[in-house]
Amino acid sequence: MDKDDDDSGVSLAKNGLPAEAPGRERADGEKPGDAFVSGAAYAALGLLGGVFGVVGSFAQDWSAGPVPVAAIVLVVLVFAMALLSGRGMGGRLGATIPAVVWAVVVFVLSMRRPEGDLVVPGTTAGYVFILGGMIAAVIGVMLVPPAGRPGDWLTGKAGRTRQ
């Protein structure tokens, strides 16, 4: 079998030597520390979503008369958080992580405790913040272009890096 005919993209170690020298780039261009940096970036985005959910839950009830201005501004900020984090990370996963963490935090803070307390009440501002934020997060995620080429998931080439 010729080396160029191998479609798997797997390099085999010969004579007990490592397939890749330490500190060098792999065949697909990734360095060994890239996975750690990506993981740390996704964790930071999750933390951003959590902090934004807590701060927004406590601030969403501010209004100017009957108009829930703070809730509307927070919905726009949720959209911007999802869209910008996804574009910054280069894929929809970067937009999904802070949006999902935001949603979990907001739902937990909107549940009534045994003492009867809750942070996000069932008012107009609360509903605008929760429902509008969820819709804005989904739209923000969907506006981020996918990481791979369109149709790769369908043709089975999603995991391949060679052409």
User: What does the pLDDT average to over 62-78?
Assistant: 90
Domain hosting residue 74, numbered range:
37-146
User: What does the pLDDT average to over 73-85?
Assistant: 95
The predicted structure's pLDDT at residue 17: 47
Assess whether pLDDT exceeds 70 at residue 108.
yes
Report d(CA 2, CA 39) in Å as an integer: 36
Please check whether residue 32 lies inside any domain of the structure. Answer: no
DSSP string over 20-44: S-TTS--TTS--TTHHHHHHHHHHH
Please check whether residue 4 lies inside any domain of the structure. Answer: no
User: Using 50, 70 and 90 to split pLDDT, how confident is the model at 81?
Assistant: very high
Assess whether pLDDT exceeds 90 at residue 149.
no
Greater pLDDT, 115 or 132: 132
Please check whether residue 117 lies inside any domain of the structure. Answer: yes
Please check whether residue 22 lies inside any domain of the structure. Answer: no
Please check whether residue 55 lies inside any domain of the structure. Answer: yes
Q: What is the pLDDT of residues 29-62, one digit of tens each?
A: 667 777 788 888 899 999 999 999 999 988 888 8
Report d(CA 19, CA 13) in Å as an integer: 4
Report d(CA 99, CA 48) in Å as an integer: 9
Please check whether residue 58 lies inside any domain of the structure. Answer: yes
Report d(CA 124, CA 98) in Å as an integer: 24
Q: Highest-confidence range of 2-6, 10-14, 147-151, by mean pLDDT?
A: 147-151
**Total domain count, the chain:** 1
Determine the distance from the C-alpha atom of residue 96 to the mean position of all C-alpha atoms in its chain, rounded to a whole number.
Answer: 3
Please check whether residue 6 lies inside any domain of the structure. Answer: no
Greater pLDDT, 151 or 139: 139
Amino acid at 116: G
